[in-house]
Amino acid sequence: MNIEKSKNLFDRACKTIPGGVNSPVRACKNVHCDPLFIASAKGSHIQTVDGKDFIDFIGSWGPMLLGHAHEEVHKAICEASLRGTSYGAPCEAEVILAEKVCFALPSCDMVRMVNSGTEATMSALRLARAVTGKNKLVKIIGGYHGHGDAFLASAGSGLATFSIPGTPGVPQSTVQDTLLVPYNDLEAAKAIFEKHGDDIAAFFVEPCAGNMGLVLPLDGYLQGLRELCTKYGALLVFDEVITGFRVSYQGAQGRFNVIPDLTTMGKIIGGGLPVGAYGGKSEYMSRIAPAGDVYQAGTLSGNPLAMVAGIATLNILEKADYKGLEARVLAFVKELVGILQSKGLDVQYQHIASMFTLFFTDKPVHNFADVEKASVAIFESFYKQMREMGIFLSPSAFETAMVSFAHTDDDFNKTLDVAKQLKF
């Protein structure tokens, strides 16, 4: 495939942007390719500057559940932009989106808008520490909560992709309060609470891990965490930046019926514009300034364009057929796995709603240690061949594929036809 324009842009980008990209994984370094530069996107398809059309399974890493450039979201953004793009003063759209989020998510009486998932998790941690008067946090090995200092220990996503255990610039004094446990291991969680229970402010978990690839919670795991946090007076924080409004309109907390103390959000609630949010019971959220004493602020927080994009998106999702999409995606994934297995490959899959990950291993996958056993070499070959034939996948074995309501049966069938042509 000719990607000359993308290559030229990447060469230029490398001179003024570190690594040529504004977020590491998209550089495609670990799959030994150059990144494709995007010119436009519509529905389930994305077009590169080289004029090539792809079926998109990245979905901007989660926000685009309705597909790209959805007519109603686009209209809301255009209309709002004519009324100004940022005020530094409150506007009605902030109130409407906050009400919609609180109405949908069982854990949220109140919500504070910020600008990214990273900001949401950093702020939720500060709040949890203030509420409990304790300092330590527990996170999952291979879990990812953005790039806040305290979370950069054994993190997933880009750090897993590039095998970075931590990062220079984070003082030891910051991560010494970060305790690590494997996902889906209640015994390990119990043991850490038995040892450090008096000092643990919060247990952060993606209810469906989505940054080590997708790994689903085993039966009883989330409920077990809920009970442990209640017993030891720690806040259970669900990072629903990926799962919020994706695994169900009520998020993972609604779907699994486990109610966290705080929830962090992002992606879908901004309809593709930069956004983040954290919420919880009024008792906790009213500690946030100016209602309370925990400081957190932002010039562009509650940005009117992001708010209207979020409102337009949630208005549609409220009535969307989540079950129908889930069934279509599951049928597609099963067929895809069958095709790959017929080529002699060992493949496991994890799927929920409109998310899935394929792991090239013969062993079941329940935590990051299992994920690490899967072949990244086969993933690289799979990624490169799929890309060459017009399928746009995350360029990392440690990410989750995102499907949208805009994906058609034709998109699925074309992807399966491409898979049939792969050679290993």
Residues that bind ligand HOZ (CB under 6 A): 23, 25-26, 61, 157-158, 211, 399
> Cβ of residue 414: shortest distance to ligand HOZ, in angstroms?
25
Omega before 35 within 30 of 0, i.e. cis: no
Cβ distance to ligand HOZ smaller for residue 158 or 280: 158
Q: How far apart (Å, rounded) are the C-alpha atoms in residues 54 and 128?
A: 43
The letter for the amino acid at 253 is Q
Catalytic site includes residue 267: yes
Q: Which of 267, 278, 322, 349 is catalytic?
A: 267
Cβ distance to ligand HOZ smaller for residue 36 or 288: 36
**Residue number of the CB atom closest to ligand HOZ:** 23
> Cβ of residue 157: shortest distance to ligand HOZ, in angstroms?
4
Cβ distance to ligand HOZ smaller for residue 48 or 161: 161
Catalytic site includes residue 15: no
> Cβ of residue 399: shortest distance to ligand HOZ, in angstroms?
5
Tell me if residue 339 falls in helix, strand or coil: helix
Q: How many helices (H) and strands (E) does the chain have?
A: 15, 14
Question: What burial class does residue 189 get, using C-beta atoms within 10 Å of its C-beta: 0-12 exposed, 13-18 middle, 19+ buried?
Answer: buried
Q: Which of 29, 136, 144, 190 is catalytic?
A: 144
**DSSP symbol at 199:** G
Q: Which of 239, 261, 370, 411 is catalytic?
A: 239
Q: Specify which residues 152 forms β-bridges with.
A: none
Catalytic site includes residue 52: no
Block residue for tokens 């590039």: 162
Cβ distance to ligand HOZ smaller for residue 61 or 204: 61
> Cβ of residue 292: shortest distance to ligand HOZ, in angstroms?
29
Order of strands, sheet of 53-56, starting from the edge strand that comes earlier in the sequence: 38-42, 45-48, 53-56, 391-392
The closest of 105, 125, 129, 107 to 117, measured between CA atoms, is: 125
Cβ distance to ligand HOZ smaller for residue 26 or 190: 26
**Which are the catalytic amino acids?**
144, 239, 267
